[in-house]
Amino acid sequence: MPERIAQHITISGRVQGVGFRPFVYRLAQQHGITGWVRNVDGAVEIHAEGAPTQLRHFSDALLKEAPPLSAPGPLAVTACAPEHAEAFSIVDSQSNSAADIHLPADGFVCAECLAELHDPANRRQRYPFINCTQCGPRYTLITALPYDRPNTAMRDFGLCPDCRQEYENPLDRRFHAEPIACPACGPHLQFVSGDEMHEGDEAVLAAAVAALRAGKILAVKGVGGYHLMCDAMNDAAVSSLRARKPRPAKPLAVMFRDIDALRGAVQVAPDMESFLASPERPIVLLPKRADASLSEFIAPGLAEIGCLLPYSPLHDLLLADFGGPLVATSGNLSGEPVLTDRQEAQTRLAHIADAFVHHDRPIVRPADDPVYRVIAGVPRPLRLGRGSAPLELELPAALPEPVLALGSHMKNTLCLAWGTRAVVLPHIGELDTPRSLDTLAQVAADLQRLYQVQASRLLVDRHPGYGYRRFARNSGLPLAEIWHHPAHASALAWEFPAVDEWIVFAWDGVGLGEDGSLWGGEAFTGAPGHWQRAASFRLFHLPGGDKAGREPWRAAAALSWETDQPAPFAPEPLHQAWSARLNSPPSSSVGRLFDAAAALCGVCTHASFEGEGPMRLEAAAYVADGQTIELPLERDPAGIWRSDWAPLLPMLTDTTRPVAERAARFHLSLAQALVDQAQQLRAQTGIQSVGLSGGVFQNRLLAEAAIRLLEDAGFDVCLPQRVPVNDAGLSFGQVIEFLHR
Asked whether residue 445 falls in the same domain as residue 331, the answer is: no
Distance CA 515, CA 526 (A): 19
- Summarize pLDDT for 29-57 with one digit per residue, the tens: 999 999 999 988 778 999 999 999 999 99
Nearest Cα to Cα of residue 43 among 105, 107, 102, 106: 102
Residue 626 has pLDDT above 70, yes or no: no
Q: What is the CATH number of the domain that holds 398?
A: 3.30.420.360
Alpha helices by DSSP H, listed for 580-658, are: 590-600, 612-621, 648-652
DSSP string of 379-408, one letter each residue? EEEEE--BTTBSEEEE-SS--SS-EEE---
Q: What is the mean pLDDT of residues 256-277?
A: 96
Alpha helices by DSSP H, listed for 423-580, are: 434-451, 469-474, 484-495, 552-562, 572-579
Residue 99 has pLDDT above 80, yes or no: no
Residue 82 within a domain:
yes
The set of residues, in sequence order, having a beta carbon less than 8 Å from that of 564 and lying 6+ positions away, is none
Asked whether residue 249 falls in the same domain as residue 227, the answer is: yes
Q: What is the mean pLDDT of residues 710-718?
A: 98
Residue 562: helix, strand or coil by DSSP? Answer: helix
Residue 127 has pLDDT above 80, yes or no: yes
Distance CA 16, CA 97 (A): 17
- The residues with which 424 forms a beta bridge, in sequence order, are 391, 415
251 preceded by cis ω (within 30°)? Answer: no
Q: What is the CATH number of the domain that holds 500?
A: 3.30.420.40
Q: Which of 373, 408, 425 is the last residue of a domain?
A: 373
Task: Report how far Cα 679 is from the mean position of its chain's Cα atoms.
Answer: 33
* CB of 61 closer than 8 Å to CB of 32: no
Residue 378 within a domain:
no
Q: For residue 48, what is the enclosing H or E element?
A: strand 43-50
- Compute the mean pLDDT over every residue in the chain, rounded to the nearest whole number: 95
Residue 339 is classified by DSSP as P
- The tally of domains found in the chain comes to 4
Residue 281 within a domain:
yes
Residue 625 has pLDDT above 90, yes or no: no
Q: Which of 482, 516, 531 is the last residue of a domain?
A: 482
Q: What is the mean pLDDT of residues 606-620?
A: 94
Distance CA 429, CA 249 (A): 18
Packing angle, helices 20-31 and 52-64, rounded to 10: 150
Q: What is the mean pLDDT of residues 451-460?
A: 96
1 — pLDDT class (breaks 50, 70, 90)? low
What percentage of residues in the chain have a pLDDT greater than 70?
99
Asked whether residue 189 falls in the same domain as residue 302, the answer is: yes
Q: For residue 709, what is the enclosing H or E element?
A: helix 700-712
Residue 301 within a domain:
yes
Residue 725 within a domain:
no
Q: What is the CATH number of the domain that holds 194?
A: 3.90.870.30
Distance CA 386, CA 209 (A): 25
318 — pLDDT class (breaks 50, 70, 90)? very high
Nearest Cα to Cα of residue 294 among 231, 249, 240, 244: 231
Q: Residue 443: give the domain boundaries.
A: 390-482
Asked whether residue 440 falls in the same domain as residue 517, the answer is: no
Q: What is the mean pLDDT of residues 389-413?
A: 96
Q: In what order do the strands lie in the sheet with 391-394?
A: 391-394, 421-424, 415-418, 403-405, 457-461, 479-482
What is the per-residue pLDDT for 170?
82
Q: What is the CATH number of the domain that holds 20?
A: 3.30.70.100
Asked whether residue 475 falls in the same domain as residue 561, the answer is: no
Q: What is the mean pLDDT of residues 177-198?
A: 96
Residue 722 has pLDDT above 90, yes or no: yes
What is the per-residue pLDDT for 16?
77
**How far is CA 686 from each of CA 689, 710, 723, rounded to the nearest angstrom?**
10, 15, 27
Asked whether residue 547 falls in the same domain as residue 604, the answer is: yes
Asked whether residue 711 falls in the same domain as residue 627, the answer is: yes
Residue 94 is classified by DSSP as B
Asked whether residue 267 falls in the same domain as residue 397, the answer is: no
Asked whether residue 335 falls in the same domain as residue 423, the answer is: no
The set of residues, in sequence order, having a beta carbon less than 8 Å from that of 689 and lying 6+ positions away, is 496, 499, 501, 502, 503, 715, 716, 717, 718
Q: Is the C-alpha dihedral spanning 61, 279, 22, 126 positive or negative?
A: negative
Distance CA 724, CA 464 (A): 24
Residue 120 has pLDDT above 90, yes or no: yes
Distance CA 78, CA 654 (A): 75
Q: Which of 304, 339, 373 is the last residue of a domain?
A: 373
Asked whether residue 181 falls in the same domain as residue 313, the answer is: yes
Residue 524 has pLDDT above 70, yes or no: yes
Distance CA 341, CA 364 (A): 9
98 — pLDDT class (breaks 50, 70, 90)? low
Residue 219 has pLDDT above 90, yes or no: yes
pTM here?
Answer: 0.93
CB atoms within 10 A of CB 97: 6
- Summarize pLDDT for 590-602 with one digit per residue, the tens: 999 999 999 999 9
Q: What is the dihedral of CA 187, 188, 193, 195, to 10 degrees?
A: -100
What is the per-residue pLDDT for 96?
56
Q: In what order do the strands lie in the sheet with 226-231?
A: 196-199, 189-193, 355-359, 218-221, 226-231, 326-330, 254-255, 304-308, 283-287, 371-375, 378-383
**How far is CA 710 from each of CA 25, 160, 281, 648, 706, rounded to the nearest angstrom?**
53, 63, 33, 21, 6
- Summarize pLDDT for 272-314 with one digit per residue, the tens: 999 999 989 999 999 999 999 999 999 999 999 999 999 999 9
Asked whether residue 651 falls in the same domain as residue 506, the answer is: yes
Residue 533 within a domain:
yes
What is the per-residue pLDDT for 335?
82
**How far is CA 530 from each of CA 392, 480, 524, 738, rounded to the nearest angstrom?**
25, 16, 9, 11
Residue 324 within a domain:
yes
* CB of 297 closer than 8 Å to CB of 238: yes
Asked whether residue 211 falls in the same domain as residue 334, the answer is: yes
Q: What is the mean pLDDT of residues 226-242?
A: 98
Q: Which amino acid is present at 78? A: T
**How far is CA 248 from each of CA 239, 253, 552, 692, rounded to the nearest angstrom?**
8, 14, 16, 31
What is the per-residue pLDDT for 148?
85
Distance CA 728, CA 714 (A): 30
* Beta pairing class for 283-287 and 371-375: parallel
Distance CA 48, CA 31 (A): 11
Residue 213 within a domain:
yes
What percentage of residues in the chain have a pLDDT greater than 90?
89
